[in-house]
Structure 1
């Protein structure tokens, strides 16, 4: 009780400090802090998304079977592993962000190592999916020839899955400190190397599928090596104090938070996958899937912007809560949400008016273009919702609400969105449009619930909870470390 009172007194002192700053200066400072995280995060996600698009383009010139197998492996298997590991790594955003805000700098390195252990154990559990991809895909009813090639690709993808461990954790670690420009530089370098190597190995040297896959693996691993060298060789002097046996302490609570984070993100990623699967069972499925693929591709590119703001929201909220400023956390939520909403509104108008004309970038079919035009209002609405929903998910990650949001996702997506989509798509016979309307309703309900939760939250109490979490897992610096963390503040 006394501890809570002290925390609240500290919070009030911090708020009085913040009140002395003019609103205009406060807004400018917060906007700069937000873009320091969001800008590089958006660019990095565009680059990472671009790696898969480049790989797909070069594999497509090898043969239709290879293209189908690569698409299947990437869409079903790799996206599944990506979702699980990225979701679990996002627990590091909560821990590192709040510890950094509380100036417990040395704890960031310990949390990073704990996350490596948890994610490595998870990745080992996922590897059979890739090693035995052929029998798994055949059991799911896929063509045997495609499944055989997919099994070959799946074994190469083992190295990609292992790359996610280092990639996601180092990104979260650096983002918490607003040091993610290095991630953007490495991503740009990696995609340039990937284009050159893909051309060299598949077109010039004629190594075929093996050449394309080798280039893909290198594109995922090059940024990891750069990030690891930056972290361990002096780029993070205050937050990386070397490898420590303390990484093996308190693994269970870290694993629990990681599992909650993984469940929260996977439930969102699988939601879009179900949309594609439901569409595949309809009449004129080929046109419907082509139109939906174009819309989801555009939506996917736009989603990279939203995920950048998700990263910014989680970092800023966790930093402010760790610092002890509830008003700072609320102000960062408002600034990030409104900025993202403004960008989303502009894109909403653009895509609403472009309609079917967008389809001709991807196809020459009049039927597909007409189907895309029909879906364009729904695409525009999705983009508008995407400008708010990921930001609120980022707020949840920053505050450590992953388990709450996982339950919200189950209720809004799987108890509301999908059932309504099935009824509209199949019973009311609205086709893919009906399925998408149902999915949008689910996303809208989830967004509405997150807005209410964020609005009704007692942020002073969240500061107390954040400090409690930070202090609970705090480990004093080793006596061998003589540097003062305050020097890096």
Structure 2
């Protein structure tokens, strides 16, 4: 009898029934029985009937035909895993594009107001909010490990507890970051921005403080739902948020003539639509097992949660497709590890990495083939097209490296290795990539190519190599055991009946 893509056999050994499970070649504890014919067992939460064979026949049959069916089984397993991956990656990509489009739309509206307004909103959104968004998104990724593994281990109640802990930790982080928004003008002047631009951008930063606090609730809710494979809910809420943003921007800028302040207010409103919508979905019946209301248990273990979140906070946001694949790869790995399936986690990591690499190779080849043409998508000026052509090969390699590294980081996050990833990121970028880029910029005539080469090959390239070695050498069965121990540590036994 086939269960998923594994085969189970039972054979009689004296007065016992012994089960062989081909997924890991383990033999289960004997079951006392005098059954004949078929033997009923529980597998993957399903009651199934397996053939009862003689011991010698069972052992031979468990290996007979493996070579003939190996290729067919592999294709089937890849197809099943790919469907699981794209079922959540597709909606995740659309939701990321929608939230990113809020920023792009804001700059498009500002572009019709004037150059100074466009520059101010660009600094406020891309520099101040961009830094804030990357940090908060990284800290929320602690839930990829905890919620993903808890969901895989059927500890459903704990997902709601982890969500509430993440809210508290990220809210405290938002409070600590308030000086960046309040004193944005003097900070911008200190780094060389003109007085007029710094004052306008700083004023916009203060208007964007409500948006800043929305991150503390939205990103944990996003990870909470992604770990349950509910990416479609996130997608629809993100699309609604984008529609609200466009409508609000038109009202505040076009009708009420509020200028860039109106754009900032529209951003505040549209970004708060996201956590309110996701919370409404979760509490309104979308997550009956994982959201059971607020719990005092969330107040315990905050220090350990803070340390895990801080280790996750050092992140580098990349191309939206790869960023989404990274997150969802982490979810798949965490689900499998939480369920005690080390081999399943390894297979999910392989399929995710291969899928992302194929996408990266496709875009890399397209840029190499159309190296002197793709610049026309953005400009028709000859000087710009020539410069784009010169940088096309570097861009192709950048896309190729960035198709692998984020997914390997997602594997690491799903496995609970946030601290290692943080140290690797810091070391590769700030102690290897950045110094190498500055060296090539100052002591060669490569110009911008020099610093780009240093950052890509010294930073991303070495980081990819290190993460690849760690992933290849990983003992996945041991990681599954660690995930089980982590669930025991973070789960209070007195709450287990509510799971």
Name the TM-score class by shorter chain.
0.7 to 0.9
1:15 aligned to which of 9, 15, 24 = 24
* More moved, 108-117 vs 39-48: 39-48
1 CA distance for matches of 2:250 and 2:397?
Answer: 38
How many angstroms does 1:66 deviate by?
A: 1.3
Aligned to 1:462: 479
| Contact preservation (8 Å) 1:167, 1:224 | yes
Aligned to 2:5: none
| Contact preservation (8 Å) 1:106, 1:477 | no
Aligned to 1:378: 394
**Higher relative contact order at CA 8 Å, sep ≥6: structure 1 or structure 2?**
1
Runs of 4+ in 1 over 6 A off after TM superposition: 17-21
How many angstroms does 1:477 deviate by?
A: 6.2
1:278-317 mapped onto 2 (5 Å cutoff): 303-317=319-333
1:344 aligned to which of 360, 363, 375 = 360
Matched, 1:220 2:237: no
| Contact preservation (8 Å) 1:97, 1:177 | yes
2 CA distance for matches of 1:114 and 1:372?
Answer: 46
Aligned to 2:129: 78
Matched, 1:47 2:98: yes
Matched, 1:132 2:183: yes
1:222-241 mapped onto 2 (5 Å cutoff): 222-241=273-292
- Choose between structure 1 and 2: higher strand proportion: 2
Matched, 1:395 2:411: yes
2 CA distance for matches of 1:231 and 1:170?
Answer: 9
How many angstroms does 1:54 deviate by?
A: 0.5
1:469–1:355 distance in 2 versus 1, CA, 3 Å: same
Query: What are structure 1's unaligned runs of at least 5 residues?
Result: 1-11, 270-299
1:23-172 mapped onto 2 (5 Å cutoff): 23-172=74-223
Aligned to 2:39: none
2 CA distance for matches of 1:364 and 1:427?
Answer: 33
For the aligned residues, what is the CA RMSD?
2.1
1:138–1:31 distance in 2 versus 1, CA, 3 Å: same
1:250-265 mapped onto 2 (5 Å cutoff): 250-263=301-314, 265=315
2 CA distance for matches of 1:238 and 1:201?
Answer: 41
1 CA distance for matches of 2:496 and 2:479?
Answer: 32
2 CA distance for matches of 1:55 and 1:364?
Answer: 24
2 CA distance for matches of 1:408 and 1:439?
Answer: 14
| Contact preservation (8 Å) 2:233, 2:278 | yes
How many angstroms does 1:360 deviate by?
A: 3.1
Residues 419-471 of structure 1: CA deviation (Å, up to 9, x unaligned): 12112122112100111111111211100110000000111111111111111
| Larger Rg over CA atoms | 2
1 CA distance for matches of 2:23 and 2:312?
Answer: 30
Equivalenced residue count is 438
Matched, 1:449 2:466: yes
Matched, 1:425 2:476: no
1:440 aligned to which of 439, 442, 456 = 456
How many angstroms does 1:14 deviate by?
A: 6.4
2 CA distance for matches of 1:312 and 1:478?
Answer: 29
- Choose between structure 1 and 2: higher helix proportion: 1
| Contact preservation (8 Å) 2:208, 2:267 | no
| Contact preservation (8 Å) 1:37, 1:311 | no
- When normalised by structure 2's length, the TM-score is 0.84
Matched, 1:330 2:381: no
Residues 60-119 of structure 1: CA deviation (Å, up to 9, x unaligned): 111211111111122221111111111110001100000111100000000000000000
| Contact preservation (8 Å) 1:120, 1:165 | yes
1 CA distance for matches of 2:233 and 2:335?
Answer: 20
How many angstroms does 1:210 deviate by?
A: 2.1
| Contact preservation (8 Å) 1:15, 1:325 | no
1 CA distance for matches of 2:468 and 2:274?
Answer: 36
Q: Secondary structure at the match of 1:15?
A: coil
